[in-house]
Structure 1
């Protein structure tokens, strides 16, 4: 039932949740070893005690391997199958090794059967788990009959305790799977934001160049036709082609550098919605009414990068965005908690590119970290 999709190993919060889940599952597994071990204390024959101890410990070890695979999504499938096969083989070997221990006095193998039933939902799907449970109950009854113990007691231990253990194990691994899927969804949201921005830029470039290049092509063709019959007019058309080409080049450069009109309010809403969908509390500020379009465009670029950093490089619970204007300076501050030590700093490629861009416009980008709080502050000049 565990997801097969690769999970980022560097996510500290997810690693801690995985460790807690693994320790909880392992604690339950090794607790089940104690009850079969009671039979070892009631067995007078030393040889049976030794064989029983080997069987119990080997079975517990293979259980641990299967549990590790269940909460390790990046583990190769072949290792997962090997762990499951080892558990199946060891479960079969416990019958001759453990069943004779404390025969008729303590249901030693019935407790092994309960642990096996408890592991079934982690190894196979529901129909298979039901089949494993039915088979284990049959073996438990046969062992009780063979060793002279009460069949009803063995079935109660294997069935009742086994189903309870299965429910607990299934719930813990199911909850872990939810955490993995949520983290993968958060990463997908960050990738989606970047992809949407690339598509927007591609559409802008297409809109800019499509019309200009069509007109340039038509006028160049006209100039070529006029050159033999009307050189003066052909020269004027060629000059117009040159003007149009220069204009198109200017527009492309402005688009690449983000100087075209960008709705900062829409950017704020989009970033806030993405953050909220990933569980980050975010409030949208009101924009200064007198913020010029060039300044808004520069701040929108910083906002997009800051929002992406919150999703990719932190485990933030909250994010605060503030935009204001004081005299000839527009300022935006983006602050979030949960900053990861391996996250962006002032020298990251995205932030360095923004710093260069703002510097070209006469602005400045500042980055600071205080404990787990990360702050990006951007300032751009505003004409009086």
Structure 2
């Protein structure tokens, strides 16, 4: 979804960007004075290049927008002395620059675009020998372009906010799960550790006056510590164990929210050994999100008499080399292969016609 909205916005902004080349470019072609023709060409190139850069950075997360903004402001200011005198009297060269500025104001300055448009139009009217024509070009054409871009820019803002919301929700879910696990561990061990500390202190005091009773207390401390360790291991095992159906459902939700069409087929009841496939599901889902440009993904789990087989396929293959290869998937799938091997399972990967497939099996 983010990719589609960004492409739509860039295509729409390309209409306004074309005015930064086509409109002033006509003025340069009409200029008969060589010096001003060269100056106008320099102005068109500088403004067009920085205009393209600042528009691209405005809808590209992680781009160096600050640098492009500075370069664009400098090029816009230089365009006035370089382009305003070009083809004067025959073509309002800088008015077309003003139209490009007004047309892209909704992207560059968002809510402050209403304050930018009058300033740009005023500059176009002042530097032009024919104020009315400059007003029509910078004001009329520029405002028309701006209105064309309101919907794509609004859509881009909504998608960007939704993406930030999903990321924030994911972070909150992780924090909440950590807090829940911390509470469980505290409730599980807090009382036992308190009792162990008290009994250990009592055994230390009794050691010099009643050795037999001190030994009994030490035995109780040992038993309490062993019980606490067993309960902790049980809690951690339950925390780390996830049913394949639950993992597949979580992956389906994450991929769908990321714009990947996902189909899942997992039996409701599976043998206990199939829980190890949850790790394969998690690794496969991570690979789809991080290492590919997939548009669809399928998850299929089949239980036979002696094994359970997981198949995950997507159309975003990027040259993975298998579980022990040196490709981008190598490390994660290598660890997964070792984990499944310990329980008699296997994992293999393949790539054909742009489709990457992971097949993991465990014996029942």
Q: TM-score, normalised by structure 2?
A: 0.75
Alignment-derived partner of residue 24 in structure 2? 36
Q: Distance in 2 between matches of 1:312 and 1:138?
A: 48
- Listed as ranges, the matches of 1:140-289 within 5 Å are 140-144=124-128, 147=129, 149=130, 151-169=131-149, 202=182, 205-206=185-186, 208-227=188-207, 231-253=211-233, 262=242, 265-280=245-260, 281-283=262-264, 285-288=266-269
**Cα distance change on mapping 1:169 and 1:83 into 2, 3 Å:** farther
Cα offsets for 1:81-110 (capped at 9, x unmatched): 322321331243246533xx241x433333
**Cα distance change on mapping 1:202 and 1:354 into 2, 3 Å:** farther
Contact 1:51–1:97 (CA under 8 A) maintained in structure 2: no
Alignment-derived partner of residue 338 in structure 1? 315
Q: Is 1:367 aligned to 2:348, yes or no?
A: yes
Q: Distance in 2 between matches of 1:132 and 1:83?
A: 18
Q: Distance in 2 between matches of 1:209 and 1:107?
A: 80
Give the superposition deviation at 1:168: 4.1
Q: Is 1:97 aligned to 2:81, yes or no?
A: no
**Cα distance change on mapping 1:323 and 1:210 into 2, 3 Å:** farther
Alignment-derived partner of residue 285 in structure 2? 307
Q: Distance in 2 between matches of 1:173 and 1:344?
A: 40
**Cα distance change on mapping 1:353 and 1:326 into 2, 3 Å:** same
Contact 2:251–2:282 (CA under 8 A) maintained in structure 1: yes
Q: Distance in 2 between matches of 1:233 and 1:298?
A: 47
- After superposition, the CA RMSD in angstroms is 4.0
Contact 1:272–1:284 (CA under 8 A) maintained in structure 2: no
Unmatched tracts of structure 1, length 5 or more: 1-12
Alignment-derived partner of residue 6 in structure 1? none
Give the superposition deviation at 1:368: 0.5
Q: Distance in 2 between matches of 1:379 and 1:189?
A: 33
Cα offsets for 1:236-282 (capped at 9, x unmatched): 44234323433444454565566976555544443433333333324
Alignment-derived partner of residue 109 in structure 1? 94
SS of the equivalent of 1:97 reads coil
Q: Is 1:352 aligned to 2:337, yes or no?
A: no
Give the superposition deviation at 1:163: 1.5
Alignment-derived partner of residue 327 in structure 2? none
Q: Distance in 2 between matches of 1:196 and 1:120?
A: 41
Q: TM-score, normalised by structure 1?
A: 0.72
Unmatched tracts of structure 2, length 5 or more: 325-329
Q: Distance in 2 between matches of 1:186 and 1:176?
A: 15
Q: Distance in 2 between matches of 1:342 and 1:313?
A: 10
Cα offsets for 1:269-308 (capped at 9, x unmatched): 434333333333243523226x23xx25433344333333
Contact 1:35–1:108 (CA under 8 A) maintained in structure 2: yes
Give the superposition deviation at 1:133: 1.9
Give the superposition deviation at 1:366: 0.3
